């Protein structure tokens, strides 16, 4: 199964049977059967204390 926005590049790239290619994946090499390929998104939320102080310039 190949989900929307997946891009499979290369003339000899082979997707093995029963594999799942997730959306927005750029596949540039062959994958074996029963593979699950996906792009992992990580969102990080920083608190006010974790942020570095910004530099302010007064002209």
d(CA 15, CA 13): 7
Q: Are 21 and 2 in contact (CB under 8 A)?
A: yes
What are the sequence ranges of the domains in the chain? Answer: 1-40
Per residue in 1-59, pLDDT tens? 999 999 999 889 999 999 999 998 999 999 999 999 988 776 566 666 666 666 666 66
pLDDT value of position 1: 92
pLDDT value of position 56: 64
pTM of the model: 0.65
pLDDT value of position 5: 92
pLDDT value of position 2: 93
């Amino acid at each position: 199964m190949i989900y929307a926005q997946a891009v499979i590049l290369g003339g000899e790239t082979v997707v093995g049977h029963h594999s799942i290619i997730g959306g927005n994946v750029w596949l540039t090499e062959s994958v074996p059967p029963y593979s699950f390929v996906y792009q992992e998104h990580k969102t990080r939320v920083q608190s006010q204390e974790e942020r570095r102080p910004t530099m302010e310039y007064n002209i």
